Amino acid sequence: MKNNIILVNVILLVFLTFNYLNGFSKYKFDVIVIDAGHGGKDPGAVGKISYEKNIALKISLHLGRILNENLPDVKVLYTRKDDSYPTLNKRAQIANSKNADLFISIHCDSFTKPSVRGTSTFIMGLSKSNANFNVAKRENSVIELEENYEEIYKDFNPNSSESIMLLSLTQKAKIALLSIFDF
């Protein structure tokens, strides 16, 4: 019952957000990619009766149905529709190859205190904080589950200030380039 209430609240929040955004015609989305976090050999957070990967998948598929019903002109794509494990690199390739306007990655936070309730929303931005850095490190730690991860991510070290600086500069350059065009 509690999980159903949480699911309904998350879906309601996303639906209300898109209804709000739908009023701004300047921000038209053509392609939205929904990423159900974790999957396959990566369970994500493990609860007493559930795995994060299963909850994230259920929410992602439900969100996709809501978007398809309410935004018929928007193409909704998924990084996974089953209990598979697309690598982090593959998830990014899916979004980039389809020129996604919006990438929504669904995760379910875990906390050591059972009394903690609520939602978290992380938006890719230029500002860095220790909290955002720690979330990124935790979520990207699954890289080590991928085959040949040392070769694929050989130049990426999440603990290195140089890696973070390079990612930040790349992001700033992309945002500057996109700001030249009026979408």
Q: Any idea where the domains of the chain sit in the sequence?
A: 2-121, 129-183
Residue closest to 167 by CA, chosen among 131, 122, 141, 137: 137
pLDDT band at 51; cut points 50, 70, 90:
very high
pLDDT of residue 116: 83
From the options 1.10.940.10, 3.40.630.40, 3.10.129.10, 3.30.1370.60, give the CATH code of 2-121: 3.40.630.40
Residue 82 confidence (pLDDT) above 90: yes
Residue 173 CA to residue 78 CA, distance in Å, equals 27
User: In terms of Cα–Cα distance, which of 81, 68, 96, 66 is closest to 35?
Assistant: 81
Mean pLDDT of 60-66: 95
Task: With both helix axes pointing from N to C terminus, report the angle between 2-22 and 52-70 in degrees, rounded to the nearest 10.
Answer: 40
Supply the pLDDT for residue 136.
64
Amino acid 79 reads T
Least confident window among 20-29, 75-84, 109-118:
20-29
In 3-162, at which residue ranges do the beta strands (DSSP E only) sit? 31-36, 75-78, 102-106
pLDDT tens sequence across 14-25: 655 555 555 544
